[in-house]
Structure formats: structure tokens, C-alpha cells
Amino acid sequence: MACISTLFFLSARVPMQFRVKFWELTACKRKTWLSWSLQRCCSSDTSLSSSDHLSSGLERYRDLQKYFRRRLKDAYHRFSNIPDYSVVSGHHHLYFTEEDGIYRMDKKQSHLEPEQVLNLRQISGELEKTGLENNKRKQRFQWTVQRIRLSPQERHLAASLKCTHTEELRCVVVRLERRRFLPLHPQHVTLTLEKVFSFEWATDEILFYSTLEGLRSSAVFRLDLTSSGSRITSVFEEMQPDVFVEVALTRDRQILTINCNSRTSSEVLLSDIATSNLDPFVVQPRQLNLLYHVEHWRGRLIILANTGLGQEYQVVQAPVSEPSMDSWVSLFAPEPGTTIKDMDVVGDHCVLVARTPVSELALIVVPLIHPKNAYIVQLPSWACAIKTKKPGLADQQNMLEFLISSPVHPPVPYCLHPENGLLLSDTGDGSSPENQADYITTRLEACSQDGTFVPVTLFHTVPVEHLRQAPLLVHVYGAYGRDLNMEFYPEKKVMLEQGWALAYCHVRGGGERGLFWHRQACVGGKRRGVEDLQACLHHLFSLGVSSPSLTALTACSAGAVPVGALCNRHPLLMRAVTLQAPFLDVLGTMEDHSLPLTLEDRDEWGDPVGNPEHRHIITSYCPLHNITPQHYPSMLLTAYSGDNMVPLAGVFKYTEQLKKAVHTHSSMKPKSECKPAPNIALNIQPGANHLGTEDFELMLEEEALKLAFLYMELGLDPPRPPRKRRR
């Protein structure tokens, strides 16, 4: 399924995710963690420079952290077998990942032992890094399989690998041969390609791929596998620095697309795989504020473009022979208040993922032969996230398989047959035993300062009127047009089971209510995201949901901006804050053109160097530059030593200034009037991943520390484990 949000927040400081395609490379590690009780990776222990000496204020949480680590480990093991669509289906085999590599199983002879296709230990052996001699701590370097692609006749396999603690990427091409019964050695590795970001097979011998240099993907290459070896040729290179390039296949595998997207424009090139001429041609030349994505159906292009009312998304079509905008004919435009989040072409139908005016997810099915007969497929009211299955070589093309989940509901598999609207669940009633618990999903709206209604999703176990004494964890993002991440996390389910209420505030700057929702909080409108967050808190408290003394805020990356700004303006609205990879020095970052994302981020934050008005606006809300002596909430900041998206210097500077402000405020008050000083804790983790560690054990430590921090700072008693029955 096409993740259309890639069209306008590429290269962003985002949490998943994560450029959307990075979702497969990094943010989906959360999905991987759920099955890492099986350790689907291969590692080698190598010494690394520890970041412990950079952390501060963590010791007081260590004992409780150990307790929560055990609880979380049990929770992750409890959900280790939830569906994740990690198995790839070929014509003859099923391919899956184990701890030491990729294996395949014969579909017709499933009784045979699985055959290893790729041995990751060989890959890990190639990466030998040693740390400082005086550093005793060991870190696990791991190669994890990110994506698997099979050639059309299953003659070759290409797999992308990522190294833990670095941003190193590579693609391994394997020639698939007949099963060798004894011994079971891995298949032959044809070659290894470095820095490969996206890749697709055009034929059994031709692979197109894009490369990632730093944070920029701008070049596409073609690999030809011949009987005498291989040949690599350059296919395309994008010259504009703010454009991100990736390759993809349409669902019917007839068209290979080269997608060149910035946050303000799109340009797609096509290669018709059905013909012998694979030279790409442009669909519609780049045009400012035109965003579009291309699928294929019966010799026509099905295009999702923001050419609808208010520059929102609608579905149009055009012949492949005349693909430019002059030939676009409208097929479907959603009703006002309904926003299109994604598109796929399934058989003779276009299936759209949409968000309704009441903020619920739904599917809209548009028959491509009779588009006026479009209809809506309702999903369970608790559904907050959807992940579609990429069809395998032998999978049916006329049905759509997908998973739905929420932060507290594990994924449930569904199958949609668009021709008759039949929606089936593997569990029969659309739930799993875990989803049958008494969890309540309540959708609210808070009125912001300018009269705009802001959606809030609340998860709880008792009626709202009984939540006054419940601890509340509030989530927020609000940048780059990206929806707040609402996929399943075991730690959220653990919190809900312990009586917490979980609120997700869909403030402006995100994409929950369409492209205009993002546009309203760009550059000069950034203060609206802060006002929206404040309104959400006031609305929750007015309904009887918790209270400021029992409330904590959490955010990651650019979501730290509205949180940090609100802490400066109204610090008494919350008791504690946790921030991950936080973007806190907006002004300093946007002034420094040597940083990798500064030029690309001007459309989001503004240009404080070239535009005095932008500088004034940024200065008015920037979390770092508005710290003042007052009683702040306690704060836990988690950052990563090699993060090249959010400069670590800004996190250090923010932490030091905040500590000074807290100390100054405490020294200004008589001892009799002083409240207990807030705790400002800094947790610096090793590694270059903006989205956190990919090591399962380190992830547990990090999440357990957050829970220990929240319980201690909110003055909560740690939950008691259930008593064992006496025999």
C-alpha cells in the first residue's frame, strides 16, 4: 500500500518512522521486538565507547527500573507471536527470518527441514569494530533483515540489512537454486551492494535500487545479472537537495516507479516492465504544491493527488501513454471532513484508507469500472492503525490483507474482498483474546484558542467519570503532516492494565485531518500546536480525567517542540515529562546550514537567517530559548550519541539551562515556600539510530527506565505482581 505521507515529510525529524520507508528500516523494529524472544537477528559482541558518563540523574530510578524490566520482558514475550506479515510467499517457497539468517520452506514438501538461504553470521563477521581499551562495556552489533524481495520467477532474492548502532545499510543478492538435501549450506551470494535504501526486481536478472548517502537518497542504479557476472549502470540522479528518491513496484508488478518527493512537490518516473524498454519516463513534471502517487490498472494510471477541494487528496486516472496532468480525470473525491490516508489497487477496485469526520479509520472501496458505486467498509471502533500486506508472487491479487491495531490492542489480521465488500477476520469476530479485555476507546474533541476542534483519543478501563484519580500519560507529535503513531506497544497495554489512562492529542501540524491540518501549523502557525495541546489538557481535566499532579506528557523528536513550549508557558499543567530524541533547539538548528536537515526543514519551521519574521516566530516558542526560572515538571530526556537528525548539542544545552533555571527558582524562594525541586534526568544511549536502540535488551532497559521515572515522579506505588495460588 502506498504510504502517501512520504510525499510531504521526507527527511523530517519524525518518530517512525519514520521517512515512511524508514518505517521498514527502523521504526518497524517495534514489530520486530515482539518476535525477538526468538532473536531474529545475528550479532557479534564488540566493544564500544560507553555513553554512561554523559548521562545524569538516573541512579534514583535504578531499583524500580529493574522491576519494570522484568514486567516488560514478560509482556513482550506474551506478544511474541502476534502476526506481522514477515513471511514472504514465492511461487514455490515461503521465506522467513530466523536468528542466523533467512530460510525457506517448500510449499509442497513442508515436512522437509527448512533450507537456509542467507547466513547472517557471515555478514556479521565482516563487521569487526573494537572500542577503547579502557572501556569494559560491550555492545551487540547486529545485522537485521529489513526487507526481502523475490525476482518474478523466484530465481533471485534480494535482502536489505541494517547494522545496529550504526546507519550502515547493505543489500545482499542471492541466487536461488534447487534444494540441496545434504548438507544444508546457504545459497550462493551473488554480490553485496552498499548503502542501498530501496530496491525492486524488474525481471529475474534486473534489479533497480536507490542509495542512501547520509540522510539523502538521490540516485537510482540498475543491476544487470549476466552469465559472466554483473553490470551496474546509473539510471537517474536527482539534483535538488530537498528531494528524496526511492524505487517501488505497483501492486500488479507491471510498472516500476521512481518516486522523487519533497515536502512540497512530487515527480514520478515510470518503467513499463511488460515491455523490453525499461527507460523511465516522467508522469507529471514537478510542480510546487502538487503531491501525487501512482498505481497501475489495466493500462491506466490510478493516481492519488492533492488536486481535490482545498488541495486535499482525490483519486484521478490517466492513460499510461498520456500520463501528464492534462489527461487526469477525477474518479473519486471524499466527502468533506473525510481524509484519504492511503491508497491501493486491488483487482478492479481502488481501496482507500480514510479517516472519518469522527476520527475513526475506515476503508473506502471505489470500483474502477463504475466509480460512482463507491462504498465504505467500517472497521472496529478501536482501530487506530492499519498495516497492509505486500502480496507475494503467488498471492491472490483480488483481495487485501491487513492488520489493524491500537496502542493497547495487538494487531488483528483481516481480509477484504472488494468485489462484494466481504470483510473477514482470522479470529472470526475481529478480536483476539487480548482484545476482548474491557478496554474503552473514547474519541473526544477539545476546543482550541481559535475555536478549532482538536481530536483526542483516550484509552481507559473504567468510565470517564471514574478517572479523576487515575494517572494520565498524554502523547503528542504535531509536525511534518505526520499522524501520531498509534500502533501497538506492549508497554502501553501494561500501563492500561495498571489503571493508567492514555491520551493521544492529534494537534495541528500532524496529518490527522488532512493536508490543511498540517499547513495550519507550519512556520508562522507553529504556536497553534502548543495551543492545541494546552486545550486538550484543559478539556481532559474538565471531563474529570486525572489532574495536573497525576499527568505526564511524552513525545519524541519534533513532538518535543509543543511539549517543551507548553512547559515554558504553563509548567503546572503536568507533573512529569519524558522525551525521546527531542528536538528542542529549533532556532539554533535552523540557523546552522551545515546540519543535514536544516535547508529541507525551512518549509516546516521557517528560515531564521533570511527572514526576520520567521526568526521572531521561532524565538517566541523555541523550547530552549524560552526557559525561565520557575517550577518545571520533572523531566527525563533520552538521546542517542550518534543521532544525525537531532543534534546532541541541543539536548545538552537544553538540559543544562533547564537545571540552572530550576536551581535559580529554588534559590529565589524561602525554604518554607519551596516545593520539592523537579528532577531533570538525562539518558544518553549509544548508537546512531534516531528512533532508539534496535537491541532488545537495551530497549527493555530504556522503556523500564521511563516507567520507573513516571511512577516515582507522579508518586505512584509500583504495581504489585499477582499473587500465586497456594496448592
Residues 212 and 258 sit within 8 Å (Cβ to Cβ): no
Amino acid identity for residue 83 in this structure: P
What is d(CA 632, CA 666) in angstroms, rounded to the nearest whole number? 11
Candidate list 11, 557, 585, 601, residue with the active-site label: 557
Residue reference for cell 477541494? 309
Active site residue 11: no
C-alpha distance across the termini of the chain, in Å: 53
Distances (CA, A) of 34 to 74, 154, 319, 490, 520: 11, 29, 44, 8, 37
User: Which region holds residue 96: left if phi is over 0, alpha if psi is between -120 and 50, else beta?
Assistant: beta
Q: Which of 349, 518, 539, 690 is catalytic?
A: 690
Strand pairing report for 361-367 and 375-378: antiparallel
Q: Is residue 620 among the annotated active site residues?
A: no
Yes or no: say if 695 and 141 are a contact pair by the CB < 8 Å rule.
no
Separation of CA 102 from chain center? 24
Helix (H, G, I), strand (E, B) or coil at 330: strand
Backbone angles phi, psi at 41, to 5 degrees: -160, 170
What is residue 417's three-state secondary structure? strand
Output the CA angle 552-557-559, nearest 5 degrees.
50
CA distance 475 to 353: 23
Residue type, 657: Q
Instruction: Report DSSP state, residue 58.
Output: -
Active site residue 690: yes
Asked whether the beta carbons of 264 and 8 are under 8 A apart, the reply is yes
Helices (H), 120-235: 120-125
| Cα(449)–Cα(534) distance, integer angstroms | 9
Grid coordinates representing 452? 478549532
DSSP calls for 633-644: PEEEEEEETT-S
Q: Identify the CA nearest to 619 among candidates 658, 651, 588.
A: 588
Query: Which single residue is written with the C-alpha cell 577503547?
Result: 132
Q: How far apart are CA 670 and CA 652, in angstroms?
A: 29
State the DSSP string of 590-632.
HH-TTSTTTTTTHHHH--TTT-HHHHHHHHHH-SGGG--SS-P
Q: How far apart are CA 211 and CA 222, in angstroms?
A: 11
Rg of the chain's alpha carbons, rounded to an integer? Answer: 25
Query: Quick check: bond before 244 cis, omega within 30?
Result: no
Cα separation, 595 vs 644, whole angstroms: 8
Running DSSP on this structure, what letter comes out for residue 725?
P
* DSSP designation for 27: I
Closest CA to 415 of 426, 406, 405: 426
Task: Tell me if 273 sits within 8 A of 223, measured CB to CB.
Answer: no
Q: What would the grid cell of residue 508 be? A: 495541528
For residue 480, the 8-state DSSP code is T
Q: Which of 172, 200, 180, 190 is nearest to 106 (CA)?
A: 180
Pairing type for strands 292-297 and 138-150 reads unpaired
Question: What single-letter amino acid sits at 138?
Answer: K
Length of the chain: 727
Name the residue with cell 501513454: 321
The letter for the amino acid at 714 is L
From 601, 643, 665, 695, the catalytic residue: 643
- The DSSP call for residue 476 is E
Which residues form the catalytic set?
557, 643, 690
